[in-house]
Structure 1
Amino acid sequence: MTAFDYWSITRGALSTISLSLASIVLGVPLGLALALIRWARLPVLDRAVYSYVSIVRSCPTVTLTLLIFFALPQLGLSLDPVPAAIVALTVSTSAFNCEVWRSALVAFPRDQYDAALSFAMPRMTRMRRIVLPQIWRASLPGLVNEMTLQIKSTPAVAVIGIVEITRAALRVGSNTYEPLPPFVFALVLYGVIVYALLRVQRVIEWRARHGEAA
């Protein structure tokens, strides 16, 4: 492999990071919103969210990507490959994030929420001061686990022409007729990205523990 080959795969890694980061930034709060709808047990919306989560979780990311990229133009909405990839990844991760957030909400002691309600604390204040500070710590490991899976799901968007780590490694291997070195390098890049994400998780958890102690 030449220096250009290594750079090509590294550029694919930058694409993977960009797509993953965009879908995570959008998918985490969207998952929280969906989980809050289910937690509130709103009659119609609760069933709609349940159906959305069930369908999306059962759909492979590659199929979802193709569906969004090729089906939306039939509805008059055409997306370029990058926006379509972000939408597909966001839709996918939001469904899984919803279940992570919901599990934390189910475990949340609701009597604290009811006690704040008895003191006429406004709804947004109850969420901001009581619920969210507790459930985000409980949800952090599950959310980070979903983020790592999201990073490893990005090869699915290669079907619409996105060149990420795996697609770049495949191209280099096809050009050099030596597939092993580029895929080993791709594996190293995936490992570095996931390791950095896990380090961020540990730093956040360390600060949360010391903040509670203080």
Structure 2
Amino acid sequence: MSTADVLTIFSGAWTTLLLSLAGIALGLPLGLGLALIRWARVPLLNPLVAVYVSLLRATPLVTLVLLLFFALPSAGISLGPVTAGLLALTLNTSAFNCEVWRAALLDLPKDQIEAAQSVGMGRVLRLRRIVLPQIARTALPGLINEMSLLIKLTPVLAVVGVVDITRAAVRIGAQTYEPLPPFLVALAIYMPIVFTLVSVQRWVERRMARREAAA
């Protein structure tokens, strides 16, 4: 492999990282909002969210990407490969994040909510001071796992022409007739990205544990 080949893979890694971070940044709060709607059983919205989550979790990401990229233009909505890929990642991860957040919400002791209501604490204040701090810790492992899966799913976007780490490695392997070296480089890039996510999870968990011990 030449230096240019390695740089091409790193360029693909940059695309992977940007799309993954953008998908995570959009999917986390969207998933939380969907989970809160289901937890609160908001009329009309709750069944719609349930259908949305069920459909998105059951739809393979590659099918979703192709649908957004090729089917939407027939409805007058044209999306570029990167935009379609980002939208697909966001929709996909928000559905899975919703279930992670909802599981944490269902695990929240109801007596704490009732106690907060009894002292006149408003809904927004309850959410900020009681609900979110507790469910964040409960949901963290599942959310980190979903983030890792999201990063590993980015090669699917190659079907619409997005050049990520894996797509770049495949191209170089086809050109040089030596597929192993570029894939080893790709693996060497993927590993620290996922390791960083796991390290962040452990750091946040330790920080939360120290706060609870000091309280």
* Structure 1 residue aligned with 2:13: 13
* Structure 2 residue aligned with 1:172: 172
* Structure 2 residue aligned with 1:189: 189
Unaligned runs of 5+ residues in structure 1 are none
Distance 2:95 2:48 in 1: 12
Which residues in structure 2 correspond to 1:108-127 (within 5 Å)?
108-127=108-127
1:196 shift after superposition: 1.1
* Structure 2 residue aligned with 1:133: 133
Moved more, 92-101 or 38-47: 38-47
* Structure 2 residue aligned with 1:155: 155
1:43 shift after superposition: 3.2
Divergent runs of 4+, >4 A: none
The alignment covers a number of residue pairs equal to: 214
Query: What is the one-letter code of the residue matched to 1:85?
Result: G
Distance 1:70 1:7 in 2: 31
Distance 2:11 2:93 in 1: 23
* Structure 1 residue aligned with 2:83: 83
Deviations 1:132-170 (A, max 9, x none): 010000000000000000000001111111000100000
Query: What is the one-letter code of the residue matched to 2:3?
Result: A
Distance 1:79 1:3 in 2: 33
Secondary structure in structure 2 of the residue aligned to 1:43: coil
Query: What is the one-letter code of the residue matched to 1:125?
Result: L
Unaligned runs of 5+ residues in structure 2 are none
Moved more, 165-174 or 64-73: 64-73
What percent of counterpart residues are identical?
A: 59
Deviations 1:44-64 (A, max 9, x none): 211111111111111111110
Deviations 1:165-204 (A, max 9, x none): 1000001001101011111111121111101111111111
* Structure 1 residue aligned with 2:102: 102
1:74 shift after superposition: 2.0
Moved more, 176-185 or 71-80: 71-80
Distance 2:56 2:185 in 1: 32
CA RMSD of superposed structures (Å): 0.9
